[in-house]
Amino acid sequence: MSTTTPSAGANIEILRKARGWSRDYLARQAHISTSLLRQVEAGTRTATPTTVAAAAKALRVPTARVYGDPFTDPSEHTALLDDLRAAVRRHTLPREDMPPLDELAANLNQAAQLRADTKYLELLRVLPRLLGQATSVAIQAGGDATAWGQLADLYGCAYAVAHRLAQPDLADMIVSRQQWAANQTWNPDAEVAAAWNEAGTYQSAGYYGDGLTIIDRAIVKYESALVEDSAQSTVSLGSLHLRGVVLASRAKDRNAWAAHNEKAKELAARLPNDLLRHNLTFGPGNQTLYELAAHVELGHPDTASVIAEPLIVAPPRGLRPSRVGRLCIDAARARLDLNEHAGAEQALTRAFEVAPQMAEVHPMSREVLRVLFKVHQRSRPGLLQMAKRSGLTPEL
């Protein structure tokens, strides 16, 4: 990677100065301290999701504008994302013929695997054609719940790519297509997956209260439609509560966080290990990871670090690289908050090993890396290597 990308803090400073605002004025508008804003702009403190959301609302820009484009060489990503946009746009007009059903099933499983392994570029290369094929099969199948459920799951894979590659408008469009597919037949579990992603768009935009409303509504609807308890229903309900855990912790709503967390714990105890269904992972391991992340958001990095310590060495069974990578990023942030720089670097290095494509573009991974690099710069070769892979430079 030969060029650089500005940090969230640098973008906040650029936007602030473009409006002619002083740092004190923006801090008041965003309801954050001037000291915090100064450190974020200077790159000596991480721009957390809540800080970015607060600054973005005050500046009246999307959070994606603050985070900026994570790609230093966007040419390949841009072309592939344009292909995906075109496929999502013509959702009722697929150009692809129906493949043999066993071939389609194998390709859908491969897409789900690529998503779980955080191989976003590889997934982007197959998604447009596969969406067309799955749509052709679903339309031909009429009201077949399996065919439409497969299509809804594939849109879930597409959402994961758009979300992680900082394409919020595309992610919004994909969620609407996923809801369309899920609603073609009675498929409550597919509807849960769509609601989970819809709440995710509010989470990304910093509208945590609205996201919680989506989750609460989805929980009520699913529970009213639930015929019997099963592993699938546990995964669906548990995943909704996990999304609620993150949203509530970022909203600093401790009562909602406690309620969602306790319910998630209760449901996770029903499963011997984590299961992946409809692109949703739920079980004892993932519940612990979400609780860890919530402690970071709620200002308890010491608790989060204690939880993370054994998990980084031996991740819970059933967790794919997408979840283990996120565990390591959250652990790095917690350790950085505790000024444990060596431990933060260690966790971040593990994230780059387990889920490299995620670690290179994840906003919090990049923020932790920027602060560590600011402190240590050339004294740590590992930081320099990760910085280069993420498109960051020594002067940042």
Span 106-158, pLDDT tens digits: 999 999 999 999 999 999 999 999 999 999 999 999 999 999 999 999 999 99
Residue 351 and residue 359 in contact, taking contact as beta carbons nearer than 8 Å:
yes
DSSP bridge partners of 390:
none
**CA 391 vs CA 15, 31, 40, 81: distances in Å:** 21, 31, 19, 20
Provide the pLDDT for residue 384: 86
| Residue 188, both tokens | 């409550």
Provide the pLDDT for residue 381: 84
Provide the pLDDT for residue 339: 95
Provide the pLDDT for residue 389: 86
Please state, for a pLDDT cut of 90, what percent of the chain lies above it: 86
Span 86-110, pLDDT tens digits: 999 999 999 999 999 999 999 999 9
The pTM score is 0.93
Provide the pLDDT for residue 393: 62
Provide the pLDDT for residue 270: 97
pLDDT of 13 over the 50 cut: yes
Span 181-200, pLDDT tens digits: 999 999 999 999 999 999 99
188-294 shares its CATH topology with 299-396? yes
pLDDT of 164 over the 60 cut: yes
| C-alpha span between 61 and 155 (Å, rounded) | 27
Provide the pLDDT for residue 250: 97
Q: Higher confidence at residue 357 or residue 394?
A: 357
Provide the pLDDT for residue 68: 85
| C-alpha span between 223 and 213 (Å, rounded) | 15
Provide the pLDDT for residue 71: 67
Q: Which fold does the domain 299-396 belong to in CATH?
A: 1.25.40
| Residue 266, both tokens | 């209760």
Half-sphere exposure (Cβ direction) of 49: Cα atoms closer than 13 Å? 27
Pick from 223, 227, 226: nearest CA to 241:
223
Please state, for a pLDDT cut of 70, what percent of the chain lies above it: 96
Domain extent listing, the chain: 8-67, 71-186, 188-294, 299-396
Provide the pLDDT for residue 318: 86
Provide the pLDDT for residue 1: 31
Q: Which fold does the domain 8-67 belong to in CATH?
A: 434 Repressor (Amino-terminal Domain) (1.10.260)
Return the sign of the alpha-carbon dihedral for residues 335, 340, 345, 350.
negative
Residue 372 and residue 344 in contact, taking contact as beta carbons nearer than 8 Å:
yes
Q: Higher confidence at residue 389 or residue 177?
A: 177
Span 304-331, pLDDT tens digits: 999 999 999 999 988 999 999 999 999 9
- Matching CATH number, 188-294, of 1.20.950, 1.10.287, 1.25.40, 1.10.1220: 1.25.40
Mean pLDDT of the chain: 93
